[in-house]
Amino acid sequence: MSGGERIPGTPRYRHHLQKNPGTEPFFPNFLLKEWIVGAVFLLGFMLWVVFNPVTLGDRANPDDTSFIPVPDWYFLFLYQILKYYPGPDIVFGTVLVPFIGTCLLIFVPWLDTSKDRHPYKRPLATLGMVLTTFLVIWLTNEAAVQHRAEVASASGQPSAGLPVLPRKDPSQIQFIDTSDPGYKLFEQTCANCHGAKGQGNIGPAIYAIGKYWDASKLEDFIQHPAGAMPPMGTLSNLTQVKEVASWLAKQKG
């Protein structure tokens, strides 16, 4: 064959004789890398969802005046930004700040034109990424902390050192494993202050305490409580404390 080709019609250039131009074709080289990274991320996300299922929240109750609506966690940083622009200044939080952020993202390729990939050699891009990540995390955390404080204030309950739960109608509370000995002790002792369904009475609500504290922390609190609760409550020995704490830890609301 002419030119030593094995198959007629194939390109005449030889890759091993071609100088490295320092670039690579977008398709399929670069695009294939993007697909592989996307597939790995999607697989990890699917596994996370399978092993960490999201449970349904409380049933909607129009009579619950303590309920404070809040967006999903991935929008909390935007939700927090709006709090810094109250009243007539809200246009800055809803229009101006998002517009500036969008423009910065659009013009990133022209703001840093360096061909180096090492973060230290691209200080502008690296600094922008670090600051943006820090601000998003900080704003998200601030929104979550302030929301919990707002819920606690709206519930009007003293926490006595316990996580504050919003007031909830007893008819909407369903306990888990009512055959457990800890539940029987709860009915005979703890329910006098915390309510038959843990909805709160003299003491704070504890119907979903297991969502925040495990059995070990509950045992320690029952033995060394805060507020007006006496040590061990009205339980008579450590065995009963362990049984009640173990059962309460199962209650996730």
Question: Which whole-number Å values give the CA distances from 213 to 66, 136, 217, 218, in the listed order?
Answer: 22, 27, 6, 6
Residue-wise pLDDT tens for the chain (253 aa)?
444 444 455 455 455 555 666 667 778 888 888 999 999 999 999 999 899 887 777 777 777 666 778 898 899 998 988 888 877 888 888 899 889 988 888 887 787 777 777 888 888 888 888 998 999 999 999 888 888 766 665 555 555 567 778 777 888 888 888 888 899 899 888 887 888 888 887 778 888 888 888 888 898 888 888 766 778 877 888 899 999 999 999 988 7
Element of type H or E holding 146: helix 123-155
Q: From the CA atom positions of the chain, what is the Rg in Å?
A: 29
Question: Of the candidates 141, 133, 130, 167, which has an alpha carbon nearest to the alpha carbon of residue 152?
Answer: 167
Asked whether the whole model's pTM tops 0.85, one would answer no
Enumerate domains of the chain plus CATH numbers: 64-155 (1.10.287.980), 170-248 (1.10.760.10)
> Which residues have a Cβ under 8 Å from the Cβ of 1 and sit 6 or more positions away?
8
Please give the single-letter amino acid code of residue 223: Q
Is residue 160 a contact partner of residue 226, using CB atoms and an 8 Å limit?
yes
Is residue 201 a contact partner of residue 194, using CB atoms and an 8 Å limit?
yes
